[in-house]
Amino acid sequence: MPTLDRAHILPEPELPNSAELLAEGRQLARTVTVGSCPFLTAYDVRSESAYKRRRAAEEQTMLHAQIGYRSLAKSRRAYAEIYERLTAAGYRVDRYGICLDWSMGYPAAERAHRPRGTGLILERAEDFAALTRAAPVAPHFGDFVIGTPAAVENTAAALAAGATSIGNIGQYFTFRMPGWGDDVRTTAETVRAMALCAAQPVEILIHSNLDDGFAALFCDLACGIGAVLIERHIVEHLIGGRVSHCYGHTFSDPLTRLAFQRALARVTDTPGSMVYGNTTIFVAGEVENYANLASYLLVDIVAQRTRPTGHGLNPVPVTEALHIPEIDEVVDAHLFANRLIQRAAGFEPMFDLQAADRVADRLVEGGRRFRDRVLSGLAEAGIDVADPFELLLALRRVGAKRLEELFGPGEPRAGRLRGRAPVVRATTVAALEDRGGALVASLPPPDREAIRGADLAVCVTCTDVHEYGKILVEAVLRRLGVRVVDAGVSADPDAVVAQAVAGRADAIAVSTYSGVALYYLQALRREMAAASLDLPIFIGGKLNQIVERAPEGGSGAPGGSSSRPVDVGDRLHDLGAVVCRQVEDMVGELLAMARERGQ
Ligand code: B12
């Protein structure tokens, strides 16, 4: 396998200087400081980490609710109402994860004409404080603040609003906003923003959701612990801040979920931000989702009781897979969680913590090996791994898959995912591969052979960080003998068209989840017309968008003021796309194409 080379990773003759970026961030800390907010006042603490340490010492289980609606008024109502209703029921919500829209990552001055997703947009710095003023609950600005081109301005607004937990380093590594290609600026702003946090007189938790970052894509869970160690190296050793980790979305196996928490406790003593709900196991049925909720929360409750790490636990509303949960649904999930915490009191003796610790041993050992190999491999390639800017940008550009292939701690094994036997198998990517295999195996053999014999090629892409739909589609195509032309992740339509042309694709497959389905398809159609390319388009995922009013002149730019996204499947169909609610819909079309070719 070819090794890494600086000339390919960082070809720019000149890059921003880390020492200057750090100095600028520190300088800014003279004027930008942590403002007051009801949470800090009510609990008489200077930061959330002090609160977390206190609660952990009292052996209290903390809870995290995720909120963020397009409308600020509704988000403020949620901030107040969830707190009031849980307090009235005799319970407590410790923190709110404020789910900003991804378009908040564009610098404010450039936001007006950019696309938008489905989340909360705070137009002015005062809006951050208007939200945190609404109740004595710790504000956690965990998305699209640090790690984006708007990192400094958003971090300053979050600090001034009294937030002392701000993220997200995980997103820095994987997220790219549509039309934004300047990763040098994104990285420079990220380093400045982290220096601004590190220079505060109170402890700021620089949050990283591992699942938002590389961890969701690693096939070896030990690489997730490796990512924690690499991020500690950057944030704590090179920048002087404190990094606080979140995991959970993709941790579906109870034993490894528990083991990961215990491994994390061994490699860092900074309080964790939250353990995210296991969202990837949620299905359409609300009743079934109560079982899903209980299955992962019980593990998390026992984990915190037996080894408190300061994380808030996140009960995911049972409607999460269907829509952005309403206020009532968030309250219900928290009532459920509080009751479960009470009922879980007698469960600890039934857990085999030694079994979890044996897995944790392997995670920690493998994670350390991964960190060491990544850092020495990058150093050999000519990257200065003591320079936070260089190291961040190099990691982002090399990406999770290649890092794991080159430096994963597992033994090399031909034919395995990433070419290695994992130290501890991560469930998600492997499960998608298995699902793809099962789907193909279930097809009638003549259909499989017809597609196999047709020599088809499909250009596959996804519009945002959600990559699982793409991985599943690729797994199915590969097993059907269809050549995959990979147009990458978070790819802009012009790049997809270029890739489809270069790879002589017979169709384009788009997976999309970020609430821009219509906008994206319209842009893709324009690019295809410009390149005189006429191919079938398969589109699947979360096919919705906030549409303010019927788009005029066919521009389709996403609207702003209405609050809920709507399904745009019919409109995608009218634009000539094959709307795929499941992968089988694409397979049927491929079969028709294959038969046509065979005639
Ligand atoms: C996993 C997940 C994540 C992971 C993604 C990991 C990764 N690297 O891929 C992580 C944690 C990173 C994530 C992040 C976010 N997420 Co998310 N995420 C999900 C989740 C739980 C599952 C989506 C998924 O991957 N499913 C797996 C696929 C294989 O299954 P499926 O969706 O059922 O798809 C089927 C078909 O649609 C089809 N299919 C899919 N694509 C295609 C394409 C083609 C061509 C074909 C033929 C078929 C096809 O295949 C499947 C089988 O039939 C959904 C909620 C849900 N349960 O759907 C939210 C969800 C998609 N996320 C959401 C949001 C808002 C976000 C964030 C913006 C939140 C935030 N503010 O931070 C961030 C994104 C930014 C970032 N960098 O962090 C929202 C989207 C809202 C909307 N559009 O209305 C959802 C719906 C959650 C919610 N209820 O609010 N997320």
> What is the per-residue pLDDT for 554?
38
> What is the per-residue pLDDT for 128?
98
Spell out the residues 6+ positions from residue 459 whose beta carbon is closer than 8 angstroms to its own. 485, 486, 487, 496, 499, 500, 503, 505, 507, 508, 509
Q: Which segments within 466-505 are labelled E, that is strand? A: 483-486
Spell out the residues 6+ positions from residue 288 whose beta carbon is closer than 8 angstroms to its own. none
Low-confidence ranges of the chain (pLDDT < 70): 1-2, 548-563
**239's tokens:** 């920048």
Long-range contacts of 320-326 (CB under 8 A, 24+ apart): 320/277, 320/279, 320/282, 320/289, 321/279, 321/282, 321/283, 321/284, 321/289, 322/284, 323/564, 323/565, 324/69, 324/118, 324/119, 324/564, 324/565
Q: What are phi and psi of 413, to 5 degrees?
A: -145, 115
* Rounded CA separation 428/423 (Å): 15
Nearest CA to ligand 1 atom 61: 513
Separation of CA 542 and ligand 1 centre (Å) = 7
Q: Which segments within 125-164 are labelled E, that is strand? A: 138-141
Quick count: other Cβ atoms within 10 Å of Cβ 522? 20
Burial of 303: CB neighbours in 10 Å, binned 0-12, 13-18, 19+: buried
Does the beta carbon of 248 sit less than 6 angstroms from any atom of ligand 1? no
Does the beta carbon of 272 sit less than 6 angstroms from any atom of ligand 1? no
Quick count: other Cβ atoms within 10 Å of Cβ 43? 15
Nearest CA to ligand 1 atom 22: 280
Separation of CA 280 and ligand 1 centre (Å) = 8
**Could you give the 3-state DSSP secondary structure of residue 380?**
helix
Helices 254-267, 221-232: axis angle to 10 degrees equals 20
Using the atom order of ligand 1, give the atom closest to the CA of residue 467.
9
Say which DSSP state 239 is in. Answer: S
Nearest CA to ligand 1 atom 34: 541
Spell out the residues 6+ positions from residue 262 whose beta carbon is closer than 8 angstroms to its own. 303, 307, 353, 356, 357, 360
How remote is the C-alpha of 503 from its chain's centroid?
29
Q: What are phi and psi of 67, to 5 degrees?
A: -135, 160
Give ∠ CA 20-24-27 in degrees, rounded to 5: 135
Separation of CA 428 and ligand 1 centre (Å) = 13
**Could you give the 3-state DSSP secondary structure of residue 462?**
strand
**Could you give the 3-state DSSP secondary structure of residue 205?**
strand
> What is the per-residue pLDDT for 556?
40
Strands 544-545 and 566-567: antiparallel
> What is the per-residue pLDDT for 563?
66
Nearest CA to ligand 1 atom 4: 466
Contact between 579 and 536 (Cβ < 8 Å): no
Q: One-letter amino acid identity for 492?
A: D
Q: What percent of the chain lies above the pLDDT cut of 70?
A: 97
Give the CA diameter of the chain: 77
Contact between 406 and 223 (Cβ < 8 Å): no
pLDDT 10s digits, 63-75: 999 998 999 999 9
Spell out the residues 6+ positions from residue 361 whose beta carbon is closer than 8 angstroms to its own. none
Does the beta carbon of 143 sit less than 6 angstroms from any atom of ligand 1? yes
Does the beta carbon of 468 sit less than 6 angstroms from any atom of ligand 1? yes
Q: What is the dihedral of CA 588, 592, 594, 599, to 10 degrees?
A: 160
Helices 517-530, 493-502: axis angle to 10 degrees equals 50
> What is the per-residue pLDDT for 548?
65
Does the beta carbon of 583 sit less than 6 angstroms from any atom of ligand 1? yes
* Rounded CA separation 274/292 (Å): 18
Does the beta carbon of 215 sit less than 6 angstroms from any atom of ligand 1? no
The closest alpha carbon to 544, from 527, 523, 563, belongs to 563
Separation of CA 249 and ligand 1 centre (Å) = 11
Using the atom order of ligand 1, give the atom closest to the CA of residue 211.
11
The closest alpha carbon to 59, from 266, 350, 348, belongs to 348
Residue ranges of the alpha helices (H) in 344-426?
353-380, 388-398, 400-407
